[in-house]
Amino acid sequence: MTLASSGRASYRWLTITLLVAAGVYAWYASAQYGRLNDLNQRQLSNAGAELKAALDTAVETATRFNAKRAAWQDSRTSKSTRSKPGGDEPKLCDFDDNQPYLELDACARGVSPVPNRTTWRSLTVVQPFTSPMLGIKVTDANKQGGFDYRFRADKVLRELAFPDSFALIVVSTDGG
């Protein structure tokens, strides 16, 4: 063997070793990316489930308040002498202040969110909506009148525990 063929053999082994090392590194990086992707998918699924549960609970709470407010109004307007007002008037802005995930812009401005001509008894439909924002709409049976709660998904997500890597992949803005 000459000196020139000996040098080629060492370059050949060096090339093979580098290719094997690059292949092992690529396999390792791909496996880690797959694991991180699976973790993020599980976290996103859990976050979606928590948002849905919080929204469903908020709809139920708004429905109960609506029924309580309508019953109070009925007791005030009833002509029967047996019927007495059932305590203090349930105020919508007080209810809004006690709900961490619901917000009424009218209450923040100091304006009544329900016009005086609207009776609470007529506001029977409480349902979530998604356009232009996530919220809860309280209307009458014809879907007129009433008001909209804004659902604060940012507050729900802030309360959930996510790993640091999840924040790099999920970006949420006010516009959706």
Provide the H-helix boundaries in the chain: 3-77, 92-97, 105-109, 153-159, 164-169
pLDDT for res 31: 92
CA angle, 95 then 96 then 100, to 5°: 110
Sign of the torsion formed by the C-alpha atoms of 43, 48, 53 and 54: positive
pTM, rounded to two decimals: 0.67
Residue 89 φ then ψ, to 5°: -65, 125
pLDDT for res 81: 43
Q: Is the Cβ–Cβ distance between 170 and 44 less than 8 Å?
A: yes
Residue 141 is given by DSSP the state T
Q: Maximum distance among all alpha carbons in the chain?
A: 120
pLDDT for res 1: 47
pLDDT tens per residue, range 29-45: 999 999 988 888 888 88
pLDDT for res 57: 92
What band does 166 get if pLDDT is binned at 50, 70 and 90? low
In this structure, the dihedral spanned by the alpha carbons of residues 58, 63, 67 and 69, taken in order and rounded to 10 degrees, is: 50
Cα 27 from Cα 17, distance rounded (Å): 15
pLDDT tens per residue, range 66-114: 888 888 877 877 755 454 555 677 788 888 889 898 988 888 777 766 6
Mean pLDDT of 50-56: 90
